[in-house]
Amino acid sequence: MPQTCYRHPNRETGVSCSSCGRPICPECMTPTPVGMRCPECMRQRTRVMRGPAGRPSFGNAPATYVLIAVNVLAFLAEAATGSGGLAEATGSVIRRFALLGNGVSEGEYYRLLTGGFLHAGLLHIAFNMFALFIVGRVIEPGIGTPRFLALYFASLLAGAFGALALTHPYEPTVGASGAIFGLFGAAAVIARGRGMNELASQIGFLIVINLVFTFSVPHISIGGHLGGLVGGVICALAIVAGDRGMLGRRRVAAELAVMALVAVVSVAGAIAVA
C-alpha cells in the first residue's frame, strides 16, 4: 500500500522525513546533508537522527554506504593481486574485469558493470568515494533507495557506453566516475524540478568544475563522464515528471521503467561500438 504525504493526503510518496519519519511529498521536502526533512521539523530545529558518535545513520542512505564498501573491497582485491595502477594494468583483477572494448566485443559483457567498481590508484578511489558519500547522502533519501540504485546503475552503464564510444578498444577504463557524474546530474535536475534552485545551482557549479577537470587532465575518460552525466539527467527527468503527476498513479514503476530503458539502450550501444 503506497504511503501518502501527511500534509497532502492525496499525494503518494516514497520519501520520509529523516527526523520524524513521516511521509512527505516534494513540496514539503527540505534537503539537509542527511536527507529530507518536513516543515515542522525544520521549524522546530529538531536534531537529525544520528548514529553513534554523531555519525549519520546508515538507515538514511544504506545503498550509498554499501556501494562505497563494494568499491573499497574491489580496490583491496586489486591491491592483493599486485595491480600497479591503470597505466601498467599488471594486476589480474584489472586485466580480467576492467572495461575493455576488445573484451566486450568478444562477449565479455560483464566488463560493462565490473569496470565501474575498479580504480586506478588510491587517489582515484578516494576522490570518487568522497563524491559518492556527499551526493549519495543527499539524493538517496530524496528519491528512495530503489530508485537511487536504478539511477546509479543506469548511469554506470551509460558511462560505460560513452567510454567505449570514445576510447581505443585495447585501452582499459576503470572507475565509478560515470555513475557519480550521473548522480550529480540527476541531483541538479531533481533539485531544480522541486524548486530547490539554490541547491541546483550549487550542484551545477560542481558539475561544471568537474567537466573542466575532465577535459583538461590527461588519462581521464571523457566519454565515461559525459555518458554517465547524460544517463543520470534522463533518469532524473523521469523522476521530475513523476513529481509533477505526468506519469499517473504508478509513477514509481514508470520512473524505474525509464531507468531500465536507459540501462538497456546503454548496454546495446556499448556492445555496438565495442
pLDDT of residue 68: 98
Of 55, 81, 58, nearest to 68 by C-alpha is 58
Does 52 have pLDDT greater than 50?
no
Considering the segment(s) 61-273 as one domain, its CATH architecture is Up-down Bundle (1.20)
From 42-51, 63-72, 192-201, 228-237, the region with the lowest mean pLDDT: 42-51
Q: Label residue 22 by pLDDT band (50, 70, 90).
A: confident
Structure confidence by residue, pLDDT tens digits, 113-131? 999 999 988 999 999 999 9
pLDDT of residue 271: 97
Out of 6-15, 37-46, 55-64, 152-161, the most confident range is: 152-161
CA gap 44, 192 in Å, rounded = 26
CA gap 42, 54 in Å, rounded = 19
Catalytic residues: 177, 225
Domain map (residue ranges) of the chain? 1-60, 61-273
pLDDT of residue 35: 62
Q: Label residue 184 by pLDDT band (50, 70, 90).
A: very high
Q: Label residue 90 by pLDDT band (50, 70, 90).
A: low
Does 50 have pLDDT greater than 70?
no
Cβ–Cβ < 8 Å for 173, 44: no
CA angle, 137 then 255 then 17, to 5°: 40
pTM: 0.80
Q: Label residue 51 by pLDDT band (50, 70, 90).
A: very low
Q: What is the 3-state secondary structure (H, E, C) of 130-160?
A: HHHHHHHHHHHHHHCHHHHHHHHHHHHHHHH
Residue 2 or residue 38, greater confidence? 38
Structure confidence by residue, pLDDT tens digits, 128-147? 999 999 999 999 998 999 99
CA angle, 12 then 13 then 15, to 5°: 165
Q: Whole-number mean pLDDT of the chain?
A: 87
Q: Label residue 253 by pLDDT band (50, 70, 90).
A: very high
pLDDT of residue 49: 39
pLDDT of residue 149: 97
